[in-house]
Amino acid sequence: MLKPSTLAMILAGSRVDKLNVLTYYRPKSAVPFGGFARVIDFPLSNLLHSGIEQIAILSQYRSYSLINHIGTGAAWDMIGRYRGISILPPSKNNGDNLYQTDWYRGTADAVYKNLDFVRYHKPEEILILSGDHIYKMDYQDMIDYHHQKDADMTIGFVQVAQDKAHRFGIADLDNEDGNLGGRVKAYWEKPETPEANWASLTVLLFKPEILYKALHENQVSNSFEFGRDIIPQLMGQGKKIYGYKYKGYWGYTGTIEEYWQANMDLLGDKPPINMEAWGLRTNMDHRGIRDAQPALLYEDAVVRNSLVYDGCVVEGTVKNSVLFPGVHVGKGTVVENSVLFFNNHIGANCRLNKVIADVDSVFGQGVIIGPESGVDAKKITVIGWNSSVPDGVRIGEGATIYPNIHIEQWPDEVKPGEVLK
Protein backbone atom coordinates (compact mmCIF):
# COMPACT_ATOMS: atom_id res chain seq x y z
CA MET A 1 0.00 0.00 0.00
CA LEU A 2 1.33 3.40 -0.99
CA LYS A 3 1.18 6.24 1.47
CA PRO A 4 -1.42 8.84 0.35
CA SER A 5 0.07 11.93 -1.27
CA THR A 6 -2.62 14.46 -0.30
CA LEU A 7 -3.17 15.85 3.19
CA ALA A 8 -6.55 17.54 3.70
CA MET A 9 -7.07 20.16 6.40
CA ILE A 10 -10.64 21.18 7.21
CA LEU A 11 -11.24 24.62 8.72
CA ALA A 12 -14.07 23.79 11.10
CA GLY A 13 -13.65 25.85 14.22
CA SER A 14 -15.57 29.06 13.75
CA ARG A 15 -18.85 30.41 15.03
CA VAL A 16 -20.95 32.43 12.56
CA ASP A 17 -22.91 35.31 14.11
CA LYS A 18 -25.33 35.35 11.18
CA LEU A 19 -26.34 31.79 12.05
CA ASN A 20 -27.66 33.21 15.26
CA VAL A 21 -28.38 30.87 18.17
CA LEU A 22 -27.69 27.76 16.05
CA THR A 23 -23.98 28.33 16.73
CA TYR A 24 -24.39 29.36 20.37
CA TYR A 25 -23.08 26.01 21.61
CA ARG A 26 -21.43 24.57 18.49
CA PRO A 27 -19.24 25.60 15.53
CA LYS A 28 -21.01 26.13 12.22
CA SER A 29 -19.56 22.90 10.83
CA ALA A 30 -21.39 20.88 13.50
CA VAL A 31 -24.84 22.38 12.85
CA PRO A 32 -27.36 19.60 12.10
CA PHE A 33 -28.54 19.39 8.50
CA GLY A 34 -30.99 17.46 6.39
CA GLY A 35 -32.78 15.38 9.01
CA PHE A 36 -29.85 13.30 10.30
CA ALA A 37 -26.49 14.75 9.26
CA ARG A 38 -24.12 17.62 10.12
CA VAL A 39 -22.78 20.26 7.76
CA ILE A 40 -19.21 18.92 8.02
CA ASP A 41 -20.41 15.58 6.64
CA PHE A 42 -20.36 17.06 3.13
CA PRO A 43 -16.61 17.82 2.86
CA LEU A 44 -15.83 14.61 4.80
CA SER A 45 -17.90 12.54 2.37
CA ASN A 46 -16.29 14.34 -0.57
CA LEU A 47 -12.87 13.39 0.78
CA LEU A 48 -13.96 9.77 1.22
CA HIS A 49 -15.25 9.51 -2.35
CA SER A 50 -12.16 11.34 -3.66
CA GLY A 51 -9.84 8.77 -2.11
CA ILE A 52 -8.17 11.29 0.24
CA GLU A 53 -7.49 9.47 3.46
CA GLN A 54 -5.35 11.71 5.69
CA ILE A 55 -7.49 14.45 7.23
CA ALA A 56 -6.95 17.04 9.93
CA ILE A 57 -9.81 19.09 11.39
CA LEU A 58 -8.88 22.48 12.85
CA SER A 59 -11.36 23.45 15.55
CA GLN A 60 -11.33 25.84 18.49
CA TYR A 61 -14.87 27.10 19.19
CA ARG A 62 -16.90 24.81 21.51
CA SER A 63 -15.47 21.69 19.92
CA TYR A 64 -17.28 19.05 21.96
CA SER A 65 -20.20 18.47 19.59
CA LEU A 66 -17.78 18.24 16.66
CA ILE A 67 -15.43 15.85 18.46
CA ASN A 68 -18.38 13.72 19.55
CA HIS A 69 -19.70 13.60 16.00
CA ILE A 70 -16.38 12.70 14.34
CA GLY A 71 -15.67 9.92 16.84
CA THR A 72 -13.03 7.55 15.50
CA GLY A 73 -13.63 8.53 11.88
CA ALA A 74 -15.07 5.09 11.15
CA ALA A 75 -18.25 6.59 9.65
CA TRP A 76 -16.12 7.84 6.74
CA ASP A 77 -13.89 4.73 6.59
CA MET A 78 -11.01 6.74 8.02
CA ILE A 79 -9.41 3.98 10.10
CA GLY A 80 -6.32 2.21 8.81
CA ARG A 81 -2.57 2.27 8.50
CA TYR A 82 -2.57 5.31 6.24
CA ARG A 83 -6.11 6.54 6.90
CA GLY A 84 -7.32 8.68 9.72
CA ILE A 85 -8.93 11.87 11.00
CA SER A 86 -7.06 14.03 13.51
CA ILE A 87 -8.74 16.88 15.38
CA LEU A 88 -6.29 19.69 16.08
CA PRO A 89 -7.42 22.26 18.68
CA PRO A 90 -5.13 25.15 19.65
CA SER A 91 -2.45 24.26 22.17
CA LYS A 92 -0.65 26.05 24.97
CA ASN A 93 2.39 28.15 24.09
CA ASN A 94 5.50 26.22 25.15
CA GLY A 95 7.53 29.39 25.67
CA ASP A 96 9.80 29.18 22.60
CA ASN A 97 8.18 32.25 20.96
CA LEU A 98 7.22 30.24 17.91
CA TYR A 99 3.59 31.21 18.47
CA GLN A 100 2.58 34.64 19.73
CA THR A 101 -0.77 33.51 21.12
CA ASP A 102 -2.44 30.26 22.13
CA TRP A 103 -5.56 30.75 20.01
CA TYR A 104 -5.91 30.46 16.25
CA ARG A 105 -5.98 34.03 15.01
CA GLY A 106 -7.41 33.15 11.59
CA THR A 107 -7.58 30.43 8.97
CA ALA A 108 -3.96 30.78 7.86
CA ASP A 109 -2.72 31.01 11.44
CA ALA A 110 -4.56 27.77 12.30
CA VAL A 111 -2.62 25.91 9.62
CA TYR A 112 0.64 27.65 10.55
CA LYS A 113 0.33 26.53 14.15
CA ASN A 114 0.10 22.92 12.96
CA LEU A 115 2.97 22.89 10.47
CA ASP A 116 4.73 20.25 12.56
CA PHE A 117 1.74 17.96 11.92
CA VAL A 118 1.76 18.83 8.21
CA ARG A 119 5.49 18.25 7.73
CA TYR A 120 5.29 14.92 9.57
CA HIS A 121 2.97 13.60 6.84
CA LYS A 122 5.28 14.74 4.00
CA PRO A 123 2.38 15.51 1.63
CA GLU A 124 2.86 16.07 -2.08
CA GLU A 125 0.00 18.56 -1.99
CA ILE A 126 -2.02 20.17 0.78
CA LEU A 127 -5.77 20.59 0.36
CA ILE A 128 -7.43 23.14 2.63
CA LEU A 129 -11.23 23.11 2.88
CA SER A 130 -13.99 24.93 4.65
CA GLY A 131 -15.98 22.62 6.89
CA ASP A 132 -19.29 24.40 6.48
CA HIS A 133 -20.41 24.28 2.85
CA ILE A 134 -23.03 22.02 1.23
CA TYR A 135 -21.80 20.52 -2.05
CA LYS A 136 -20.67 17.36 -3.85
CA MET A 137 -17.20 17.48 -5.43
CA ASP A 138 -14.53 15.03 -6.54
CA TYR A 139 -11.35 16.73 -5.36
CA GLN A 140 -9.22 14.41 -7.50
CA ASP A 141 -10.42 16.26 -10.61
CA MET A 142 -9.11 19.49 -9.14
CA ILE A 143 -5.87 17.80 -8.05
CA ASP A 144 -5.37 16.47 -11.58
CA TYR A 145 -5.87 19.97 -12.97
CA HIS A 146 -3.43 21.36 -10.38
CA HIS A 147 -0.74 18.90 -11.56
CA GLN A 148 -1.55 19.46 -15.22
CA LYS A 149 -0.88 23.20 -14.86
CA ASP A 150 2.05 22.67 -12.45
CA ALA A 151 0.34 25.30 -10.32
CA ASP A 152 1.77 26.69 -7.11
CA MET A 153 -1.80 27.07 -5.87
CA THR A 154 -5.19 26.10 -7.27
CA ILE A 155 -8.46 27.53 -5.95
CA GLY A 156 -11.94 26.11 -6.46
CA PHE A 157 -14.42 28.71 -7.75
CA VAL A 158 -18.15 28.76 -8.41
CA GLN A 159 -20.13 31.41 -10.26
CA VAL A 160 -22.54 33.40 -8.10
CA ALA A 161 -25.06 36.12 -8.87
CA GLN A 162 -23.36 39.46 -9.38
CA ASP A 163 -25.40 41.09 -6.61
CA LYS A 164 -24.13 38.43 -4.15
CA ALA A 165 -20.48 38.56 -5.19
CA HIS A 166 -19.47 41.18 -2.60
CA ARG A 167 -19.86 38.56 0.15
CA PHE A 168 -17.08 36.30 -1.15
CA GLY A 169 -13.50 36.15 -2.29
CA ILE A 170 -13.83 36.93 -6.01
CA ALA A 171 -11.48 36.16 -8.89
CA ASP A 172 -11.13 37.23 -12.48
CA LEU A 173 -10.12 34.12 -14.46
CA ASP A 174 -8.75 33.98 -17.96
CA ASN A 175 -10.24 31.49 -20.42
CA GLU A 176 -7.12 29.36 -20.74
CA ASP A 177 -8.94 26.06 -20.21
CA GLY A 178 -12.55 26.97 -20.96
CA ASN A 179 -15.07 25.38 -18.61
CA LEU A 180 -12.34 23.55 -16.70
CA GLY A 181 -10.49 26.54 -15.31
CA GLY A 182 -7.97 29.26 -15.97
CA ARG A 183 -5.21 31.45 -14.59
CA VAL A 184 -6.26 33.80 -11.78
CA LYS A 185 -5.68 37.28 -13.21
CA ALA A 186 -6.94 39.20 -10.16
CA TYR A 187 -8.39 38.42 -6.75
CA TRP A 188 -10.42 40.55 -4.33
CA GLU A 189 -11.58 39.53 -0.85
CA LYS A 190 -15.22 40.61 -0.37
CA PRO A 191 -15.00 43.65 -2.66
CA GLU A 192 -17.61 46.41 -2.27
CA THR A 193 -18.04 46.65 -6.06
CA PRO A 194 -17.11 43.24 -7.56
CA GLU A 195 -15.58 43.23 -11.03
CA ALA A 196 -16.23 39.50 -11.53
CA ASN A 197 -18.45 36.77 -10.07
CA TRP A 198 -16.26 33.68 -9.64
CA ALA A 199 -16.53 33.11 -5.86
CA SER A 200 -14.03 31.09 -3.84
CA LEU A 201 -15.33 27.77 -2.52
CA THR A 202 -12.58 27.88 0.13
CA VAL A 203 -11.13 24.80 -1.56
CA LEU A 204 -7.42 25.61 -1.73
CA LEU A 205 -4.68 23.35 -3.07
CA PHE A 206 -1.00 24.12 -2.48
CA LYS A 207 2.45 22.90 -3.30
CA PRO A 208 3.77 22.36 0.24
CA GLU A 209 6.87 24.56 0.04
CA ILE A 210 4.82 27.43 -1.41
CA LEU A 211 2.39 27.18 1.51
CA TYR A 212 5.11 26.85 4.17
CA LYS A 213 6.94 29.95 2.94
CA ALA A 214 3.74 32.01 2.63
CA LEU A 215 2.60 31.10 6.13
CA HIS A 216 5.97 32.00 7.66
CA GLU A 217 6.02 35.33 5.82
CA ASN A 218 2.47 36.09 6.94
CA GLN A 219 3.43 35.91 10.63
CA VAL A 220 4.68 39.50 10.55
CA SER A 221 1.18 40.62 9.54
CA ASN A 222 -1.71 41.71 11.74
CA SER A 223 -4.12 39.55 9.76
CA PHE A 224 -3.94 35.81 9.29
CA GLU A 225 -6.48 34.75 6.67
CA PHE A 226 -6.10 32.83 3.42
CA GLY A 227 -8.50 35.01 1.45
CA ARG A 228 -7.50 38.37 2.86
CA ASP A 229 -3.75 37.73 3.11
CA ILE A 230 -2.21 34.57 1.64
CA ILE A 231 -3.85 34.66 -1.81
CA PRO A 232 -3.04 38.36 -2.45
CA GLN A 233 0.46 37.76 -1.07
CA LEU A 234 1.10 34.95 -3.58
CA MET A 235 -0.51 36.95 -6.40
CA GLY A 236 1.88 39.81 -5.67
CA GLN A 237 4.83 37.43 -5.85
CA GLY A 238 3.83 36.26 -9.33
CA LYS A 239 3.13 32.66 -8.33
CA LYS A 240 1.25 30.35 -10.69
CA ILE A 241 -2.27 30.48 -9.30
CA TYR A 242 -5.07 28.75 -11.17
CA GLY A 243 -8.81 28.60 -10.68
CA TYR A 244 -10.74 25.34 -11.01
CA LYS A 245 -14.36 25.92 -12.08
CA TYR A 246 -16.95 24.01 -10.08
CA LYS A 247 -20.35 23.68 -11.76
CA GLY A 248 -22.57 21.84 -9.24
CA TYR A 249 -24.84 22.85 -6.38
CA TRP A 250 -23.19 24.91 -3.65
CA GLY A 251 -24.94 25.81 -0.41
CA TYR A 252 -23.04 28.55 1.40
CA THR A 253 -25.31 28.52 4.51
CA GLY A 254 -23.70 31.67 5.89
CA THR A 255 -27.00 33.07 7.13
CA ILE A 256 -30.19 31.68 8.68
CA GLU A 257 -31.99 32.27 5.39
CA GLU A 258 -29.35 30.38 3.39
CA TYR A 259 -29.31 27.53 5.88
CA TRP A 260 -33.11 27.24 5.77
CA GLN A 261 -33.11 27.35 1.96
CA ALA A 262 -30.47 24.61 1.73
CA ASN A 263 -32.73 22.37 3.83
CA MET A 264 -35.69 23.22 1.60
CA ASP A 265 -33.51 22.23 -1.38
CA LEU A 266 -33.79 18.64 -0.10
CA LEU A 267 -37.51 18.60 -0.90
CA GLY A 268 -39.58 18.29 -4.07
CA ASP A 269 -39.69 15.88 -6.99
CA LYS A 270 -36.17 16.72 -8.20
CA PRO A 271 -34.34 18.25 -5.24
CA PRO A 272 -31.07 20.08 -5.95
CA ILE A 273 -29.50 18.17 -3.04
CA ASN A 274 -29.78 14.39 -3.22
CA MET A 275 -27.94 13.04 -0.19
CA GLU A 276 -28.36 9.41 -1.22
CA ALA A 277 -27.03 10.00 -4.74
CA TRP A 278 -24.19 12.09 -3.32
CA GLY A 279 -23.19 9.22 -1.03
CA LEU A 280 -23.38 11.34 2.11
CA ARG A 281 -21.94 9.64 5.19
CA THR A 282 -22.57 10.58 8.81
CA ASN A 283 -21.88 9.13 12.24
CA MET A 284 -25.03 7.09 12.89
CA ASP A 285 -23.92 6.44 16.48
CA HIS A 286 -24.01 10.15 17.31
CA ARG A 287 -27.28 10.80 19.20
CA GLY A 288 -28.19 7.14 18.65
CA ILE A 289 -29.53 7.72 15.15
CA ARG A 290 -29.04 4.11 14.09
CA ASP A 291 -31.01 2.85 17.11
CA ALA A 292 -34.11 5.00 16.58
CA GLN A 293 -37.31 3.10 15.88
CA PRO A 294 -39.06 3.66 12.52
CA ALA A 295 -41.13 6.81 12.26
CA LEU A 296 -44.69 6.42 13.58
CA LEU A 297 -47.51 8.17 11.70
CA TYR A 298 -50.89 8.10 13.40
CA GLU A 299 -54.09 7.37 11.49
CA ASP A 300 -55.00 11.05 11.09
CA ALA A 301 -51.44 12.20 10.35
CA VAL A 302 -50.73 14.09 7.13
CA VAL A 303 -47.19 14.33 5.73
CA ARG A 304 -46.54 16.16 2.46
CA ASN A 305 -43.26 16.95 0.72
CA SER A 306 -41.25 16.43 3.90
CA LEU A 307 -38.35 14.42 5.30
CA VAL A 308 -39.41 12.66 8.49
CA TYR A 309 -36.60 10.61 9.99
CA ASP A 310 -36.66 7.52 12.19
CA GLY A 311 -37.72 8.11 15.76
CA CYS A 312 -40.35 10.71 14.83
CA VAL A 313 -43.99 10.50 15.91
CA VAL A 314 -46.53 12.44 13.84
CA GLU A 315 -50.11 12.82 15.02
CA GLY A 316 -50.81 16.09 13.19
CA THR A 317 -49.79 17.61 9.83
CA VAL A 318 -46.30 18.17 8.43
CA LYS A 319 -45.77 20.04 5.15
CA ASN A 320 -42.60 21.13 3.36
CA SER A 321 -40.47 20.42 6.42
CA VAL A 322 -37.44 18.49 7.68
CA LEU A 323 -37.80 16.56 10.95
CA PHE A 324 -34.79 15.07 12.74
CA PRO A 325 -35.00 11.90 14.89
CA GLY A 326 -37.12 12.12 18.00
CA VAL A 327 -39.46 14.92 16.88
CA HIS A 328 -43.04 14.52 18.14
CA VAL A 329 -45.82 16.45 16.39
CA GLY A 330 -48.99 16.48 18.49
CA LYS A 331 -52.59 15.96 17.43
CA GLY A 332 -54.14 18.90 15.59
CA THR A 333 -50.73 20.55 15.15
CA VAL A 334 -49.56 21.91 11.78
CA VAL A 335 -45.84 22.19 11.04
CA GLU A 336 -44.91 23.72 7.70
CA ASN A 337 -41.84 25.18 6.01
CA SER A 338 -39.81 24.29 9.09
CA VAL A 339 -36.65 22.51 10.23
CA LEU A 340 -36.94 20.79 13.61
CA PHE A 341 -33.76 19.38 15.17
CA PHE A 342 -33.43 16.29 17.36
CA ASN A 343 -35.99 15.53 20.07
CA ASN A 344 -38.28 18.53 19.72
CA HIS A 345 -41.71 17.86 21.24
CA ILE A 346 -44.61 19.87 19.78
CA GLY A 347 -47.82 19.69 21.79
CA ALA A 348 -51.39 19.48 20.50
CA ASN A 349 -53.10 22.18 18.41
CA CYS A 350 -49.93 24.17 17.70
CA ARG A 351 -48.96 25.96 14.50
CA LEU A 352 -45.35 26.38 13.38
CA ASN A 353 -44.71 28.18 10.11
CA LYS A 354 -41.14 28.77 8.88
CA VAL A 355 -39.41 27.81 12.11
CA ILE A 356 -35.96 26.43 12.85
CA ALA A 357 -35.98 24.81 16.30
CA ASP A 358 -32.74 23.56 17.88
CA VAL A 359 -32.51 20.32 19.86
CA ASP A 360 -34.46 19.25 22.95
CA SER A 361 -37.09 21.99 22.94
CA VAL A 362 -40.62 21.46 24.23
CA PHE A 363 -43.64 23.37 22.92
CA GLY A 364 -46.81 23.30 25.02
CA GLN A 365 -50.34 23.09 23.65
CA GLY A 366 -51.71 25.81 21.40
CA VAL A 367 -48.36 27.47 20.69
CA ILE A 368 -48.44 29.63 17.56
CA ILE A 369 -45.22 30.59 15.76
CA GLY A 370 -45.24 32.63 12.57
CA PRO A 371 -48.18 33.60 10.35
CA GLU A 372 -51.38 31.70 9.66
CA SER A 373 -51.16 28.25 8.10
CA GLY A 374 -50.76 28.49 4.34
CA VAL A 375 -49.50 32.10 4.51
CA ASP A 376 -46.02 32.64 3.04
CA ALA A 377 -43.85 33.75 5.96
CA LYS A 378 -41.22 36.29 4.94
CA LYS A 379 -38.91 35.78 7.92
CA ILE A 380 -37.63 32.72 9.79
CA THR A 381 -38.20 32.26 13.50
CA VAL A 382 -35.31 30.59 15.34
CA ILE A 383 -35.72 28.73 18.63
CA GLY A 384 -32.55 27.99 20.62
CA TRP A 385 -31.99 24.57 22.11
CA ASN A 386 -33.47 23.26 25.35
CA SER A 387 -36.26 25.83 25.42
CA SER A 388 -39.60 25.20 27.13
CA VAL A 389 -42.44 27.15 25.50
CA PRO A 390 -45.56 27.41 27.69
CA ASP A 391 -49.10 26.65 26.51
CA GLY A 392 -50.71 29.29 24.34
CA VAL A 393 -47.65 31.47 23.72
CA ARG A 394 -47.59 33.37 20.41
CA ILE A 395 -44.24 34.02 18.72
CA GLY A 396 -44.15 36.41 15.78
CA GLU A 397 -42.26 35.62 12.58
CA GLY A 398 -38.58 36.51 12.54
CA ALA A 399 -38.26 36.33 16.33
CA THR A 400 -35.18 34.82 17.98
CA ILE A 401 -35.36 32.76 21.16
CA TYR A 402 -32.05 32.15 22.94
CA PRO A 403 -31.24 28.69 24.37
CA ASN A 404 -32.45 27.49 27.76
CA ILE A 405 -35.47 29.79 28.05
CA HIS A 406 -37.72 28.05 30.55
CA ILE A 407 -41.39 28.29 31.43
CA GLU A 408 -41.19 31.08 34.01
CA GLN A 409 -39.18 33.38 31.69
CA TRP A 410 -41.79 33.59 28.93
CA PRO A 411 -44.18 36.46 28.21
CA ASP A 412 -47.57 35.69 26.69
CA GLU A 413 -46.37 36.97 23.34
CA VAL A 414 -43.04 37.50 21.57
CA LYS A 415 -43.51 40.11 18.87
CA PRO A 416 -42.26 39.73 15.28
CA GLY A 417 -38.51 40.27 15.08
CA GLU A 418 -38.12 40.41 18.87
CA VAL A 419 -35.21 38.70 20.66
CA LEU A 420 -35.91 36.81 23.89
CA LYS A 421 -32.84 36.14 26.06
pLDDT at 101: 54
64 within some domain: yes
d(CA 100, CA 145): 37
283 within some domain: no
Q: pLDDT tens-digit profile of 43-67?
A: 999 999 999 999 999 988 888 889 9
240 within some domain: yes
pLDDT at 80: 87
**Which range (64-68, 89-93, 163-167) has the least confidence?**
89-93
Q: Is the pLDDT of residue 91 over 80?
A: no
284 within some domain: no
The pLDDT-based confidence of 374 (bands split at 50, 70, 90) is confident
Mean pLDDT, rounded, for 399-405: 96
Chain centre distance of CA 267: 19
Q: Is the pLDDT of residue 97 over 70?
A: no
d(CA 112, CA 293): 46
Do 335 and 235 fall within a single domain? Answer: no
The pLDDT-based confidence of 350 (bands split at 50, 70, 90) is very high
Q: What is 207-259 written as a DSSP string? A: -HHHHHHHHHHHTTSS---IIIIIHHHHHHTT--EEEEEP-S-EE---SHHHH
| Number of Cβ atoms within 10 Å of the Cβ of 372 | 10
CA dihedral 256, 260, 263, 265 (to 10 degrees): -120
Q: pLDDT tens-digit profile of 264-300?
A: 999 999 999 999 999 999 999 988 899 999 999 999 9
238 within some domain: yes
Let me know how long the chain is: 421
Q: Produce one character per residue of 193-213: b if its CB has 16 or more CB atoms within 10 Å, e if not.
A: ebebbbbbbbbbbbbbebbbe
Do 118 and 29 fall within a single domain? Answer: yes
281 within some domain: no
- Amino acid letter, 26: R
Tell me the average pLDDT of the chain. 93
pLDDT at 64: 85
Q: pLDDT tens-digit profile of 351-360?
A: 999 999 999 9
Do 319 and 214 fall within a single domain? Answer: no
Which element (helix H / strand E) includes 279? none
d(CA 326, CA 360): 9
What pTM value is reported for the model?
Answer: 0.94
| Number of Cβ atoms within 10 Å of the Cβ of 413 | 13
275 within some domain: no
Domain boundary pick from 249, 264, 279: 264
Do 300 and 238 fall within a single domain? Answer: no
d(CA 231, CA 188): 9
Q: Is the pLDDT of residue 227 over 60?
A: yes
CA dihedral 69, 71, 75, 81 (to 10 degrees): 150
Q: Is the pLDDT of residue 20 over 50?
A: yes
246 within some domain: yes
43 neighbors 127 (Cβ within 8 angstroms): no
CATH number where 362 lies: 2.160.10.10
200 neighbors 254 (Cβ within 8 angstroms): no
Do 90 and 224 fall within a single domain? Answer: yes
Domain boundary pick from 213, 246, 264: 264
Q: Is the pLDDT of residue 7 over 90?
A: yes
182 bridge partner residues: 243
CATH number where 84 lies: 3.90.550.10
Do 150 and 258 fall within a single domain? Answer: yes
374: containing domain: 292-420
pLDDT at 94: 59
Do 195 and 327 fall within a single domain? Answer: no
pLDDT at 139: 98
pLDDT at 1: 40
Do 251 and 306 fall within a single domain? Answer: no
Do 75 and 132 fall within a single domain? Answer: yes
Do 296 and 235 fall within a single domain? Answer: no
The pLDDT-based confidence of 96 (bands split at 50, 70, 90) is low
- The number of distinct structural domains making up the chain is 2
57 neighbors 131 (Cβ within 8 angstroms): yes
Do 244 and 384 fall within a single domain? Answer: no
Do 228 and 321 fall within a single domain? Answer: no
| Number of Cβ atoms within 10 Å of the Cβ of 391 | 14
